[in-house]
Amino acid sequence: MRVTLLGTGDTTGTPTVGCDCDTCIAARERGIERTRFSVHIENERTDESILVDFSPDFRYQFLRDDVSLPDAAVVTHIHFDHLDGLGNVFRVFDNLEVYAADETDPETGESVAETVRDDYHYLDSVTVRPTTPLDPVRICGFDVTLVPVDHPPLVCYGLAIEDPETGARLSLSGDTSYDVPDASRNVLADADLLLADGIVPANLCQYHPLGGRHEDADGVPRTFGTKHMTREGALALADELNAARTRLVHVAHYYPADEAFAEPLAVDGEEYVL
């Protein structure tokens, strides 16, 4: 299993357009990027690959990192920074199977799968595969399980991806607060690599209108507002899940410049072989 981090940034990416903060300046000077979130997973045994989420930076990411076009894809939720790149498949694919959860979202009245199907009905090359969360499905030789997480007000899902022949395991927290359900934690546990949403350091919760949530015993917030984990929350989750290695993704440019590129924060282009 070869994992390439195509996009490791939040909804605006780093550098952010029009921003001259110290972190964005440092990113430009160092040639470092965090484009909008997307992950490429290659099965070298079968010469197939899966794309997790369609970043709006889809075209740029694939040209920059020179990875193979995917044979299938998974959409975790319908926020634009994870879905709007799907339009890039026009005239690029003859047929692409896109897997998405089949649970109805009370906020939208339809499932992620239905939203993808309806919003991209004009893409004849896309076949949407409604998928039941917590039930593994075989995709490109991997066992892939969607797991519910906590990203209000919309439903959102993390992923566990396992190679049934080698036992290699990749887990993605998805966009989530620290309040990941126990059933999902059980599926995400014991990964060789965990990609965890760690949008900002916990001390920045003081600047969020809703503050922080899910404080630890020392009062450190593990959730920033309601939708994303803090760095400290993501690392706490990683410890609880017994992840062998953790990279923080969906990272915002609000990290101070002297912390923004420190371990274990990921940047675009990182590659891991599991």
Q: Three-state SS string across the chain, please?
A: CEEEEEECECCCCECCCCCCCHHHHHHHHHCCCECECEEEEEECCCCEEEEECCCCCHHHHHHHHCCCCCCEEECCCCCHHHHHHHHHHCCCCCCEEEEEECCCCCCCCCCHHHHHHHHCCCCCCEEEEEECCCCCEEECCEEEEEEECCCCCCCCEEEEEECCCCCCEEEECCCCCCCCCHHHHHHHCCCCEEEEECCECHHHHHHCCCCEECCCCCCCCCEECCCEEEHHHHHHHHHHHCCCCEEEECECCCCCCCCCCCCCECCCCCEEEC
How many percent of the chain have pLDDT more than 90? 100
- Residue 167's pLDDT band (boundaries 50, 70, 90)? very high
pLDDT in tens, 123-149: 999 999 999 999 999 999 999 999 999
Rounded to the nearest 10°, the torsion over CA 51, 56, 59, 63 is -80
pLDDT at site 226 = 98
Give the pLDDT confidence score for residue 228 in this predicted structure: 98
Domain spans of the chain? Answer: 2-273
Confidence class for position 11, pLDDT limits 50, 70, 90: very high
pLDDT mean over 168-183: 98
What gap in Å lies between CA 108 and CA 153, rounded to an integer?
10
Task: Give the pLDDT mean for 230-239.
Answer: 98
Q: How confident is the model at residue 245 (pLDDT cuts 50, 70, 90)?
A: very high
Q: For residue 204, what are the CA distances in angstroms to 21, 99, 140, 175, 256? A: 15, 35, 40, 18, 10
Identify the architecture of domain 2-273 in CATH: 4-Layer Sandwich (3.60)
Average pLDDT over every residue of 40-47: 97
Pairing between β-strand 126-131 and β-strand 96-101 as defined by DSSP bridges: parallel
- Of the listed ranges 46-50, 91-95, 156-160, the one predicted with least confidence: 91-95
Q: In whole angstroms, what is the distance from residue 192 CA to residue 241 CA?
A: 11
pLDDT in tens, 180-197: 999 999 999 999 999 999
pLDDT mean across residues, the chain: 97
Provide φ and ψ at 238, rounded to 5°: -60, -40
256 — pLDDT class (breaks 50, 70, 90): very high
Mean pLDDT of 87-95: 94
